[in-house]
Structure 1
Amino acid sequence: MMTSEIATRYLDYFQKNDHTIVPSASLVSDDPSILFTIAGMVPFIPFLTGVVPAPYARAADVQKCIRTNDIEEVGKTARHGTFFQMLGNWSFGDYFKEGAIGYAWELLTSSEADGGLGFDERDLWVTVYEDDDEAARLWHRIAGLPADRIQRMGKDDNYWSTGQPGPAGPCSEIYFDRGPAYGRDGGPAVDDSRFTEIWNLVFMQDLIADVKSKTDFAIVGELPKKNIDTGMGLERVAFIKQGVENMYEIDQVRPVLDRAEALSGRRYGASHEDDVRYRVIADHIRSSLMLLSDGVTPSNEGRGYILRRLMRRSVRAMRLLGVDGPSFPELFTASRDAMASAYPVVVDDWARISQYAYAEEETFLRTLAAGSTILDLAVSQTKDAGAFALPGAEAFLLHDTYGFPIDLTMEVAEEAGLSVDREAFDALMLEQRTRAKADAKSRKRAIADLSVYRDFRAHGETVFTGYTDLETESNVLGILVEGLPAQRATQGQIAEVILAETALYAESGGQVADKGVIVGPGYELEVLDVQKPVPGLVSHTVEVTSGEVGLGQAATSVVDAVNRRAARQAHSATHLVHAALRDTLGRTATQAGSLNRAGYLRFDFAWGQALSPETKTEIEEIANNAVRDNLEVTTRVLSLSEAKELGAMALFGEKYGDVVRMVDIGGPWSRELCAGTHVSTSAEVGIISLVGESSVGASNRRVEALVGQDAFRELAAERAIVSQLTSVLKTPRENLPARIAELTASLKAAEKRIASFEAKLLGERVPELVSSATSAGPFRAVTASVGRAASADDLRGLVLQVRDRLGSGPAVVALGAEVGERPVVIVATSESARAAGAKAGVLAKTAAGLLGGGGGGRDDVAQGGGTDVSALPVALEAIVRALEATHA
């Protein structure tokens, strides 16, 4: 049974049983405390906790999930995967344990001919929470399971909670017996390798508090509305129904594994280590494809870092299989074809997805080449020092700074006859993870407990009137002070205020929040921020500047009209720039992020190379031509499917409901889904001036622009500078580039003549320096500060001349100079001096330490530097003492 057929049977069954079929939410989670949708229940948390009223009594879905906390286990077991799909059915105060157990058993054991999944009842076992007698009785009555196939487990296995105070409850898990070939008999309590969990039914009935750990909490009451939350792993069911060994061999994953096998020439199944690598590749390529399809792009932080890690682990695994060149064009194509029937977006958006994937692989292959060079040097230095293990700090630096994987470091070191101090490396990794966890924990603590918004959201969604009004009368529904509900807020306090209606725009879609005030009888509040802490609810962070605001009072939200006008200009200008980019570069130049505030826009887009000056000019001209043409800006509210049929762009990183707002500028020329505020006609935007273009990753570029009055001021300032230059240089404006180029060439020529003169003066000092040679232990040494030098290369040339004039005896020359207002020391040793133990690199490093900097190099010539020019005499004296110590 194909994976997509299992999903279809599941949804069809629950649709027949009066469940609303809900489309999968994005892999990018709305929950600010987690990066991804890590479980099927994540999109339903607002409904399960009661913060947001559920729009349906019962639902079913197939939810895309990403989980990377067990990434090191991927490929080693039959069930660990980073991307997976969770089949779920949900009841919000409707049916409870009896219904959930009945539906699960019927779907699992009904014949395939009748639309079921066709499991043999004899192969199924269940577990229940140790105190849940009701669930045990229901399993016996509904399914006819004997007592020995209903096993009781403790809180660690069969009790579910979010880990926070709030809703929780016992759960019941359904297991499939894979047979004696896979382990011991006796049920899941004895062997969870042989008995594979396929479905978990959570009975959310309790209210818990005083949560200390997963198993240490207090049940303080029952929920007034009991919910059902179930999750069945689609991949687990698929590998059982398809008769394969693990999830990596199912129809949606195996094609990638097969392609990797063909590229490497090694047979899957011949080596355990290679098999793990094949499975890692198959899993990670699919996960990367799905993350890219949901708008995540590779980067060095957050979600982008997780994606980058998955892709780079795939490259690394291919390398360990003997494939050093690019493989993503074939691997991603195989994954696309395998996933296309379930997720057509991977085909529809293939141009963008493949562009990011291929660029990331190309970048990492270059990183590996550079890392190999650095690693070769580290290996050489370790061997020169007579050590047998590469320091853990070196391995960590390669991993953390250059992205060079530890197992490749170990492989290269082993080939050179060295080990790696893995204990020190692991300690540094643990230290880094501890810092990251502490940081994540502090960020999580900074987020208010969303349950405080439950009562406010129960009044309905906040009505936003700001599309048409800049002032709106309402009343105060809620006040939060320091994250806790309050009756009032007084002068000087910072508080959150919830209104029934507001004219103030909450930050979203790249547009920053409005500025403004909230006023009422006897009080005034300065609005500091406007956000949507939970879907449909707007919260205003305010400072009480006068009086006292209390619950139930009248309140009028007043938008700063000047700031709003400039913000509208910037947001509409963003749409114009996006359309101009696509006109110029093609439809793959899609948005990857944006920021709009009064007078300024920042726009990130998918593109792999810098824009030429001519291209930037063309984009700017197209956008400003649209302004000149005074295009009509219209908005329509319609269904998501209608908007997409009309060609509206759904931008990545944005969440859309069934009903969306579509913004047209000039009809279909610019047509995007957008909830932001906009001008009425494009002429209101004013001027758009591109002021910057830069890289924000291997496959992303960023343009920045000033808009309206801010753009005018920038252009006026540039005009003033040009006017000053024409006056000072006595050159017409059109001749300025040529005149400045001429002056620059003259300056460079003068600098070159000065440098030549200074080098000549240094060279004339060679006899004097040779004659100043003194004894330092067994060495003939010349140490001196020669004043200023045009460059370190000039000083190096002088040092080598002096060394060569000292003859074949053990000679060391160390000269210091001020180069560009910084101290530089160059050290050179003769061959016989090196034989006697003098190493230029060590001596240069010694001097650099006293100069406040660093240094090193080869044994024959080396360089050091720092920041303290006055320390040059001391640094040179330290070299003499080091030479004398060598003699001692």
Structure 2
Amino acid sequence: MQTAEISRRYIDYFAERGHTVVPSASLVTDDPTLLFTVAGMVPFVPYLTGVVPAPFPRAVDVQKCIRTNDIEEVGKTARHGTFFQMLGNWSFGDYFKEGAIEYAWELLTKSEADGGLGFAERDLWVTVYETDDEAAALWQKIAGLPADRIQRMGKSDNYWHTGQPGPGGPCSEIYFDRGPKYGQEGGPAVDDNRFTEIWNLVFMQELINNVTSKVDFDVVGPLPKKNIDTGMGLERVAFIKQGVENMYETDQVRPVLDRASELSGRRYGADHGDDVRMRIIADHIRSSLMLMSDGVTPSNEGRGYILRRLLRRSIRAMRLLGVEGPTFTDLFAASRDAMKSAYPEVEHDYSRISQLALGEEETFLRTLAGGTTILDLAVSKTKESGKSELAGDTAFLLHDTYGFPIELTLEMAEEAGIAVDRGAFDTLMSEQRARAKADAKSKKKVLADLSVYGEYRAKGETVFTGYTDLQTDSSVLGILVDGVPAQKAVAGQTAEVILAETSLYAESGGQAPDQGKIVGDGYELEVLDVQKPVKGLISHTVKVTRGEVGVGVPATTLVDEDYRRGATQAHSGTHIVHAALREVLGPNAHQSGSFNKAGYLRLDYGWNQALSPETRSEIEEISNNAIRQNLEVVTRELPLDEAKALGAMALFGEKYGDVVRVVDIGGPWSRELCAGTHVSTSAEIGMINIVGESSVGASNRRVESLVGIEAFRQFAAERALVQELTQNLKTRPDQLVDRIGELVQNLKTAEKKIASYEQKALSDRVPALAAKAVRSGDVLVVAESVGPLGSGDELRSLATSVRGQLGDAASVVALAAEVGGKPIAIVATSAAARDTGANAGALAKRMAGVLGGGGGGKPDLAQGGGNDVAAIPAALEAVRAELGH
């Protein structure tokens, strides 16, 4: 049974039983504590916790998930994958344990001919929470399972909670017995490799608090509404139903594995190590494809870093299979073809996705080449020092700074005949992970407990009036001080204020929040921030500048009119620049992120090379022509499917409801889904002045622009600068470039002449310095101070010239000078002097120690320095004394 067919049967079964079919949420979650949607329940958390009222009593979905906690286990086991799909059915205060168990058992055991999944009852086992007698009895009643196939397990296995205070409850898991070939008898309590979990039924029935770990928490009491959260792993069911060994061999993953096998010439199944590498490639390529289809782009932080890691692990695995050239063209195409029936967007958006992937591959292959050079040097130094083990900090530097995988370091070091201090490397990696965990934990603690907003959200959604009104009368629904509900806030305090209505725009869609005030009888609040902590609720962070505000009192929101005007200009300007980019570069120049505020816009877009000055000017001109044409800006609310059918672009990372706001500028020329505030006609934007264009990743660029009055001010400042230059240089504006070029050329000519004179002056000093050579034992020694010089290069040139003047004699030249207020020493030795044991590196280090600094170098030429100019005579004397011995 194909993966897509399993998914279809699941959805159809629950839809026929009154469940609302909910489309998969993006892999990019809006939960601030998570990078990705890591489980099927993530999009439903607001409903499960009661913070947001559920819009339906029961639901069914197939949710895309990414989880990278066990990335090192990918390819090694049958069930670990970074991308997976979770089939879920949900009840929000509707059916509970009995209904969930009945549905699960019927769907699993009903024959394939009757629309079920056709599992044999004899192959299924279940686990329940150790004290959940009700669930155990229901399994016997509904499924007829004997008591010995219902195993009781503790909190670590069969109790679910979010890790935060809130809802929790026992769960019941369904396992499939793969047979004696895969392990010992005794059920999942004995062997969870042979007995594979395929479905988890969570009975959310309790409110918990004081959560310190998975198993350490307090049950406060029952939940007001009992919920059902169930999840069936699609990949796990697929590999069982398809009769293959693991998830990597299923129909949606195997094509990539096979392509990797073909490209490498290695047969899958012939070598365990190669098999693991091919499975890693198959998993990571699919995960990368799905992440990029949801708008994630490779970068060095956050979600982009995870994507980059997946891509680079794939490249590394291909290299370990013997393929050093590019392979993503073939691998991503294979994954696209395997996934497009379930997710058509991967085919529709493939041009952009492949551009990102190929750009990242090209960059990392160059990184590998550079890392190889660095590793070769490190290996040479290790051998020169007589050691047989590459230092762990060197391996960590290669991994952490240059992105060079440890597996490649180990492989290449072994080829060179040395080992790697893996223990030291692992210690450094553990320390880095500990720092990352501590950082993530500290960031998580900063976030307010979202359950505090539940009582306010239960009163309904905050009404946003700011599209049409800058002033709105409302009332205070709630006040939070330090994240805790309060009855009032007084002058000098900072607080969060929840209103029934507001004209103040909350930060979203790349647009910064409004500035303004909230006023009422006897109080005034300065608005510091406006956010949407939970869906449908707007919270205002304010400073009480006058009086006292309390819950229930009337309030009026006042938007700063000048700021809003600038913000609408910038947001509409962002749409115009985006349309201009696509007109010039084509549809692959798709917006991947943006930020705009009054007077400024920043737009990130998919592209893999810098814009030429001519292209940048063309985009700027198209944008300003659109402004000059005074195009009408039309906003409409439409069903999402209808909006997309009209060609409205949905921007990656944004969340859209069933009804969306469509913003047209000039009709279809610029048509995007957008909840931001906009001008009425394009002429109101005033002006676009592109001030920056830069790289933000291998396949991502960034345009920055000033907008409106800020754009004008920038031009005015540049005009004033041109006027000042023309006056000072006594030329006309149209001749300014030629005049400055002439001056630059004259300056270069003068600098060459000065350098020539300085070089001659140095050369003239060589004979006199050579004449000061004094024999000390077997060598001639010149140890002199030459006074102030312009650079260390001059001193080096002087020392080597004096050494040359002394010919083949055994000679040591030690010169010191003051450069930029600090002492510098150079020591040069001839070959004959080195034969006697003289070493420039050791002598330079000796001088530097006297000068209060450090130094060293090669035996023939070395440099040192310090901070004490007055110590130069003593440093020279130290050299004489050293050679005198």
Alignment CA distance shift 1:872-1:196 (3 Å): farther
Q: Indicate conservation of the 8 Å contact 2:531/2:540, yes or no.
A: yes
In the other structure, the counterpart of 2:680 is 680
How far residue 584 of structure 1 moved from its aligned partner, in angstroms, is 0.8
| Distance in structure 2 (CA, Å) of the matches to 1:163 and 1:60 | 24
CA distance in 1, matches of 2:880, 2:207: 76
Quote the Cα distance in structure 2 between the aligned partners of 1:205 and 1:837. 84
The one-letter code matched in structure 2 to 1:37 is T
User: Counterpart of 1:440 in structure 2: which amino acid?
Assistant: A
Corresponding residue SS for 1:402: coil
Deviates more, 1:726-735 or 1:500-509: 726-735
Separation of aligned partners in 1, 2:682 and 2:161: 51
Equivalent residues in 2 for 1:686-835, closer than 5 Å: 686-773=686-773, 780-789=780-789, 792-808=792-808, 810-817=810-817, 825-835=825-835
String of CA shifts for 1:125-165, please: whole Å, max 9, x gaps. Answer: 10000000000001111111111110000001000011111
CA distance change for structure 1 residues 848 and 495 in 2, over 3 Å: closer, same or farther?
farther
Which residue is equivalent to 2:400? Answer: 400
Instruction: Specify whether residues 813 and 29 from structure 1 end up closer, same or farther in structure 2 by C-alpha distance, changes over 3 A only.
Output: farther
Instruction: Report the alpha carbon displacement of residue 853 of structure 1 after superposing the two structures with TM.
Output: 8.0
Identity value in percent: 73
Matched, 1:341 2:335: no
CA distance in 1, matches of 2:808, 2:347: 72
Residues 433-468 of structure 1, C-alpha deviations (whole Å, 9 max, x = no match) = 111111111110110000000000001110000000
How is 1:251-330 mapped onto 2 (pairs within 5 angstroms)? Answer: 251-330=251-330
Partner Cα separation in structure 2 for residue 887 and residue 180 of structure 1: 84
Deviations 1:783-825 (A, max 9, x none): 4453455555544333322223344455443445566777655
CA distance in structure 1 between the partners assigned to 2:697 and 2:843 by the alignment: 40
d(CA) in 1 for partners of 2:847, 2:757: 28
In 1, distance between residues paired with 2:777 and 2:28? 68
Cα separation, partners in 2 of 1:234 and 1:450, compared to 1, 3 Å = same
After superposing the two structures, state which structure 1 stretch, 846-855 or 808-817, moved more: 846-855
Return the offset for 1:215.
Answer: 0.6
Aligned to 1:356: 356
1:33-67 CA distances to partner (integer Å, 9 max, x unpaired)?
11010000000000000000000100011101111
Residue type matched to 1:517 in 2? Answer: K
What is the CA distance between 1:772 and its match in structure 2?
Answer: 3.6
Give me the whole-angstrom Cα distance separating, in 1, the residues matched to 2:15 and 2:852.
Answer: 73
Specify the SS of the correspondent of 1:472. strand
Corresponding residue for residue 121 of structure 2: 121
What amino acid is the match of 2:38?
I
Contact 1:638 1:661 in 2 (8 A): yes
> Which structure 2 residues correspond to residues 438-517 of structure 1 after superposition, within 5 A?
438-517=438-517
Structure 1's 833 and 247: CA in aligned 2 closer, same or farther, altered over 3 A?
Answer: farther
8 Å CA contact 2:491–2:546 kept in 1: the answer is yes
Q: Is the 8 A contact 1:129 1:158 kept in 2?
A: yes
Which shows bigger deviation, 657-666 or 784-793? 784-793
Contact 1:111 1:117 in 2 (8 A): yes
The reply to whether residue 384 of structure 1 matches residue 384 of structure 2 is: yes
Cα 1:779–1:639 change in 2 (3 A) is farther
Deviations 1:826-866 (A, max 9, x none): 4433334545555555665676788898766544344566x
Describe the shift of the 1:631–1:84 C-alpha distance in structure 2 as closer, same or farther (beyond 3 A): same
Alignment of 1:408-423 (within 5 A): 408-423=408-423
Q: Which residue of 2 aligns with 1:649?
A: 649
* 1:523 and 2:523 matched: yes
Amino acid in the other structure paired with 1:633: V
Bigger mean CA offset, 388-397 vs 160-169: 388-397
Shift of 1:24: 0.5
Distance between the aligned counterparts of 1:128 and 1:427, measured in 2?
Answer: 39
Alpha-carbon displacement from aligned partner over 1:212-247 (angstroms, at most 9, x marks no partner): 211111111111100000111111111111111111
Distance 1:525 1:364, change over 3 A: same
Given that 2:91 and 2:228 are in contact with CA atoms closer than 8 Å, whether structure 1 keeps it comes out as: yes
- Look up the equivalent residue of 1:358 and give its one-letter code: L
Query: CA separation in 2, counterparts of 1:385 and 1:779?
Result: 29
Report the Cα distance in structure 2 between the residues aligned to 1:380 and 1:222, rounded to whole angstroms. 67
Tell me the TM-score normalised to structure 2 length.
0.97
The aligned amino acid for 1:797 is: S
Question: SS where residue 72 of structure 2 aligns?
Answer: helix
* 1:653 to 1:872, Cα distance in 2 relative to 1, 3 A: farther
SS across alignment from 1:765: helix
Task: Give the Cα separation in 2 of the matches to 1:887 and 1:657.
Answer: 87
Match of 2:570 in 1: 570
What secondary structure is seen at the aligned counterpart in 2 of 1:764? Answer: helix
Distance in 2 separating the partners of 1:821 and 1:699: 46
Tell me which amino acid in the other structure corresponds to 2:545.
Answer: T
The aligned residue for residue 184 of structure 2 is 184
Task: Determine the C-alpha separation between the residues in 1 that align with 2:776 and 2:833.
Answer: 11
The alpha carbon displacement at 1:701 in A equals 1.2
**Could you list the per-position Cα deviations for residues 716-745 of structure 1 after superposition, in whole angstroms to 9, with x for gaps in the alignment?**
111111111111111111111111011001
3-state SS of paired residue (2:401): helix
Cα root mean square deviation, aligned:
2.1
> Aligned in 2, Cα 1:324/1:53: closer, same or farther, shift over 3 Å?
same
Contact 2:495 2:543 in 1 (8 A): yes
Answer yes or no: is 1:871 the counterpart of 2:877: no
Which segments of 5 or more consecutive residues in structure 1 lack a partner in the other structure? Answer: none
Q: Match for 2:282: what amino acid? A: A
* Shift in alpha-carbon separation, 1:313–1:825, aligned structure 2, 3 A: farther
Give the CA deviation at 1:781. 4.4
Match of 1:88 in 2: 88
- Displacement of 1:780 after TM fit? 4.6
- The CA distance in 1 between the partners of 2:576 and 2:798, in whole Å, is 60
SS class of match (1:298): coil
- Per the alignment, residue 169 of structure 1 pairs with 169
Residue identity in the other structure for 1:495: A
Question: How many residues matched?
Answer: 885
Q: Partner of 1:237 in structure 2?
A: 237
Task: Report the Cα offset of residue 423 of structure 1.
Answer: 1.5
Contact 2:783/2:880 (CA < 8 Å) preserved in 1?
no
Contact 1:814-1:876 within 8 A present in 2 as well: no
- Distance in 1 (CA, whole Å) between partners of 2:852 and 2:672 is 56
3-state DSSP of counterpart to 1:630: coil
Tell me if the contact between 1:755 and 1:790 (Cα under 8 Å) persists in the aligned partners. no
Aligned-partner Cα distance in 2 for 1:440–1:362: 31
Secondary structure of the 1:163 match is coil
Match of 1:73?
73
Return 426-435 or 779-788, whichever deviates more. 779-788
SS at match of 1:713: helix
843-852 or 786-795, larger mean C-alpha shift: 843-852
**CA separation in 1, counterparts of 2:67 and 2:313?**
15
CA 582–886 in structure 1, closer or farther in 2 if over 3 Å, else same: farther
Distance 1:97 1:849 in 2: 79
| Whole-Å separation in 1 of the counterparts to 2:111 and 2:552 | 59
Counterpart position of 1:247: 247
Q: Tell me by how many angstroms 1:428 deviates.
A: 1.4
Distance 1:681 1:746 in 2: 51
CA contact (8 A) 1:759 1:790 kept: no
- Give the structure 2 partner of residue 103 of structure 1: 103
1:786 and 1:816 in contact (8 A); partners too: yes
Deviations 1:305-333 (A, max 9, x none): 11111111111111111111111111111
- Deviation (angstroms), 1:755: 1.1
Distance in 1, matches of 2:26 and 2:852, equals 52
1:734 aligned partner, one-letter code:
D
